Amino acid sequence: VRHDQSHYGKIYLVGAGPGDPGLLTIKARDLLAVADCVIYDYLVNPEILAFAPAYAELIYVGKHGKDYNWKQEEINRLLIEKAGKYDLVIRLKGGDPFIFGRGGEEAEALVDAGIEWEIVPGVSAGSAVAAYAGIPITYRGLSSSVAFVTGHEDPQKLRSSIRWEELANGVDTLVFFMGVGRIREITEQLILHGRSKETPVAVIRWGTYNDQETHISTLNDVADLVRQKAVEAPALIVIGEVVRLREKLRWFEANAKTEWDVAAESDEYTELSI
Amino acid sequence: VRHDQSHYGKIYLVGAGPGDPGLLTIKARDLLAVADCVIYDYLVNPEILAFAPAYAELIYVGKHGKDYNWKQEEINRLLIEKAGKYDLVIRLKGGDPFIFGRGGEEAEALVDAGIEWEIVPGVSAGSAVAAYAGIPITYRGLSSSVAFVTGHEDPQKLRSSIRWEELANGVDTLVFFMGVGRIREITEQLILHGRSKETPVAVIRWGTYNDQETHISTLNDVADLVRQKAVEAPALIVIGEVVRLREKLRWFEANAKTEWDVAAESDEYTELSI
């Protein structure tokens, strides 16, 4: 808690990982345990917020809420305001703060305001969600490159900011974040620019959570499957030959709760409803 | 420790993160604390091995050792052998096991042998090492895509397995793992296929460790700089406009030890010499 009113506190931009609380880093948990204030997003698992002290101020700035949609500039101002009030403020983001998390923009705002900050990288959904679906995003002989791409742009911009003709075959594995709402445009562009229609595709919803669900299809058919099954965000799209390995390597959905989860629930974790 | 000799134990393929022990996941640390055997690589920070119990058998299978170079098939056989002896075996890899870690191949070998396994994803060097150098690998308006590529192939294969003409401009940020020994060929290929010679490049050695060093140059000049400064592995190469953000966002090298590190060293961590 803030004692010295003559200076600003410090802000940590912290990655919360993809969902499974076990995938939080030690550093993130240790910092959460002494946080005065936690400003968190939609995709942060509520179980992770339970690591913060009871006295900590928890502020939800998720953009998928039904109430109010925070603008980035408003979040930046909130961070600075809270750094003026508290010693230790955590800006908690799903996955990794620097992979489509706008962590860079927030860090810039803090530098401009002269506020001390650090980043605590997190486990990215791009690899972990695929791994929980039994898909290694790289694999010797099948994939020696993987791209993370944001699908969360307005359709106009999606067409212009991605160089589809080079992206389509430029890397072996393609991972689209936040792209399920635009999966038809994404897959059409990739096929138009020469990626095989038969390329396997996985759409993984609520990855690393106990109710993770994985849909397997091809570049040609996946948009229809997603519409038919009404698959909605949050979901990760993985495109490439490595998706075939899931048949052999799936492990998580087969035994939804691991021994570790059960042990962790019984002694370490507390449920938090928000 | 193994009691029931009638069955095989379980193997966890665990990501150790990029180096900073604080970037280990909670799940990895909890599993290490009860491991009977840890089979680990070159790029695993020895401080992380200290989380294993004193009785655990620690086996080094790193490929950069001066003594013996383990072949992948030998490591696979070793995993199976140790699963026959112990209840809980950890296969510990730098970064994330499924990002150029050959985790997929090891998982396949375990499935073939009928051994129970799980994966514990880790924080990838691809984002975390860049973050510790003050570089967000994605940034709205500057980079909406990032590719992770392995530079660790024989020169013959490097030329054939990477589609340079599409990769060069297909994504905004390019991150090469294990590529410092082949940086001249990598940069020449990218320039040859149309990436601007003036594209900023960062070469980050021992990223997230206290002695992290970062070299900044351009696609045109970086190979000379690396030769001149004799930069060797382990190093990550980050290519793209986002590298410019480091000028404003560098934080880690400025204050090599954070308060958190000092606190952690004093009460939680023990040094382990191996």
DSSP secondary structure of A210-247:
TT-EEEEEETTTHHHHHHHTT--SSEEEEESGGGGGHH
Is A71 an annotated catalytic residue? no
Is B27 an annotated catalytic residue? no
Separation in Å, CA of B236 to nearest CA in chain A? 15
Q: Can you give the pLDDT at residue A272?
A: 31
Secondary structure (3-state) at B13: strand
DSSP for A30-98 reads HHHTT-SEEEE-TTS-HHHHTTS-TTSEEEE--SS-SS----HHHHHHHHHHHHTT-SEEEEEESB-TT
pLDDT at B25 over 70: yes
Q: Of A98, A127, A249, which is closest to B136 when you measure between CB atoms?
A: A98
The length of chain B is 274
Closest CA to B45 of B169, B129, B156, B165: B129
Q: Which of B20, B41, B96, B172 is catalytic?
A: B41
Spacing of C-alpha A272 from chain mean position: 20
Separation in Å, CA of A228 to nearest CA in chain B? 29
Task: Say whether B117 and A21 touch across the interface (CB within 8 A).
Answer: no
Identity (one letter) of the amino acid at B130? A
Q: Can you give the pLDDT at residue A6?
A: 57
Q: Can you give the pLDDT at residue A152?
A: 74
Q: Of B15, B103, B162, which is closest to A144 when you measure between CB atoms?
A: B162
Task: Say whether B169 and A169 touch across the interface (CB within 8 A).
Answer: no
Query: Over the stretch A77-135, which tens digit does the pLDDT of each residue have?
Result: 999 999 999 999 999 999 999 999 999 999 999 999 999 999 999 999 999 999 999 99
pLDDT at A274 over 60: no
Query: Over the stretch B178-189, which tens digit does the pLDDT of each residue have?
Result: 999 999 999 999
Residue B10 tokens read as 């379980």
- Stated pTM of the model: 0.90
% of chain B with per-residue pLDDT over 70: 85
Spacing of C-alpha A75 from chain mean position: 18
Q: Can you give the pLDDT at residue A180?
A: 96
Q: Can you give the pLDDT at residue B262?
A: 45
Identity (one letter) of the amino acid at B157? K
Q: Can you give the pLDDT at residue A268?
A: 38
Q: A with B: how many residue pairs have Cβ under 8 Å apart?
A: 215
How far, CA to CA in Å, does A222 sit from each of A55, A137, B71?
Answer: 46, 19, 39
Query: Over the stretch A124-141, which tens digit does the pLDDT of each residue have?
Result: 999 999 999 999 999 999
How far, CA to CA in Å, does A255 sit from each of A133, A250, A259, A267, B111?
Answer: 12, 10, 10, 21, 15
How far, CA to CA in Å, does B84 sit from each of A259, B113, B116?
Answer: 20, 11, 11
Residue A127: burial class (beta carbons within 10 Å; 0-12, 13-18, 19+) = buried
Q: Which of A52-66, A247-261, B132-146 has the lowest mean pLDDT?
A: A247-261
Task: Say whether B166 and A161 touch across the interface (CB within 8 A).
Answer: no
Residues of A in contact with B169 (CB under 8 A): 163, 166
Task: Say whether B249 and A108 touch across the interface (CB within 8 A).
Answer: yes
Residues of B in contact with A202 (CB under 8 A): none
Spacing of C-alpha B79 from chain mean position: 20
Mean of the per-residue pLDDT values of chain B: 89
pLDDT at A20 over 90: yes
What ipTM, to 2 d.p.?
0.90
Q: Which of B27, B63, B85, B87 is catalytic?
A: B63
Q: Of B30, B144, B249, which is closest to A104 when you measure between CB atoms?
A: B249
Q: Can you give the pLDDT at residue B254?
A: 64
Residues pairing with A139 in the sheet: A143
Give Cβ neighbours of residue A5 (< 8 Å, ≥ 6 apart).
none
Give Cβ neighbours of residue A163 (< 8 Å, ≥ 6 apart).
B169, B170
Give Cβ neighbours of residue A42 (< 8 Å, ≥ 6 apart).
A62, A63, A64, A65, A94
The length of chain A is 274
Query: Over the stretch A211-245, which tens digit does the pLDDT of each residue have?
Result: 999 999 999 999 999 999 999 999 999 999 999 99
Q: Of A102, A130, A145, which is closest to B148 when you measure between CB atoms?
A: A145
Query: Over the stretch B177-218, which tens digit does the pLDDT of each residue have?
Result: 999 999 999 999 999 999 999 999 999 999 999 999 999 999
Is A178 an annotated catalytic residue? yes
- How many C-beta neighbours within 10 Å does residue A58 have? 16
